[in-house]
Structure 1
């Protein structure tokens, strides 16, 4: 059964199995993140996908790991008219291919944008970027928790929602910096290649830089 909760002025809708067909309808860009049982491709299952269109709501989908039958979510991930915003999308895109069988595109990654724009620092985690650019402190307490549990706690749901609520604003700020530094074209090229980089990870080149000399 779907569930709605309100916390910190954010309305969060939780769903089991799939995103409702009418959720996020008309959105041109959707922020997306996922929660898994670990960070190893092929070993750790995909458990939760959270999404937001930037309008103050978040949708947290607890997937059916027995079937991964989520046609509405898959349709959104592959919709060419909807830009999917991620932070380190490389991992999420690889997980979606492994478990949902779809190649996510088109995409935008705030971590890539940060690395291209914020060359004055090596701190490109979501918490660091959000704090500097938006002056928002994100809690990472629930980052390492049991996302495969039958029922998610309120804290887990709030954490999942918080990871997508600020990506739209981050994209706007990072785009301004990329244009200012003359790197927006390079960023777009990286975003276009990102799904292919994720597929290379799945195919076994996860720890190999194919562009390196040796």
Structure 2
């Protein structure tokens, strides 16, 4: 297992032949429109992670954009709603097709209200994730070794989580609902960007 750091974009062919890529991002904060996208981390499930420090404000990353929009590659997230919105806002692409382990967890693990990545990974995989670097300066010119390790940890377990959650979704008869929710997710992200971030358009009031 190894972590690779890239400046600006993914190298050519780094995920050739992959059909499912786990993806996460790091930003300067959690406000759309205020906080810039800084880092994108990815893994094909082989134990390696690729951490891309994006070049702002131009975001010239054609290989990354091509991967995000490739219809033959499933993009795997945990709380993908935010990452997908960030990619649409800053990279100008709509990410699809997608799978979100947080949505899957909420549909499958109805016995709990703890659906954060750390909680789900602990229960289903027996792995304890550290969140010590979550609030660090992701806009820095150089990423620290601790930041790279943290970024990598957020994508290295998503493939295994998807497998565990799929078993639960199938068992409970909710896989169809999950697929429909995943298909809707890019549209939910677009609604966030259009100003409906805090509004449930399906609510009565």
Q: Give the TM-score normalised by the residue count of structure 1.
A: 0.95
Q: Deviations over 1:127-146 (max 9, x none)?
A: 00000000000000000000
CA distance, structure 2, for counterparts of residue 37 and residue 134 of structure 1: 29
Residue 22 of structure 1: CA displacement?
1.1
Among 106, 114, 138, the alignment partner of 1:115 is 106
1:174 to 161, 165, 168: 165
- 2:78 maps to what in 1? 87
Say if 2:182 is the partner of 1:198.
Answer: no
Task: Mark the runs of 5 or more structure 1 residues left unpaired by the alignment.
Answer: 1-9
Over 6 Å off, 4+ runs: none
d(CA) in 1 for partners of 2:42, 2:187: 22
- The counterpart of 1:101, out of the listed 92, 100, 108, is 92
Is residue 25 from structure 1 mapped to residue 16 from structure 2 by the alignment? yes
**Aligned match of 1:45:** 36
| Unaligned segments of structure 2, at least 5 residues | none
Q: Pairwise mapping of residues 2-17 of structure 1 onto structure 2 (< 5 A)?
A: 10-17=1-8
Provide Cα deviations, 1:80-110, integer angstroms capped at 9, x if missing partner.
0000000000000000000000000000000
Q: For residues 122-175 of structure 1, what are the alpha-carbon distances to aligned partners after superposition, in whole Å with 9 as ceiling and x for unaligned?
A: 000000000000000000000000000000000000000000000000000000
C-alpha RMSD of matched pairs (Å)? 0.4
**Correspondence for 2:156:** 165
Shift of 1:66: 2.4
CA distance in 2 between partners of 1:21 and 1:167 (Å): 23
- Matched residues in 2 for 1:19 and 1:134: separation? 29
TM, length-normalised to structure 2: 1.00
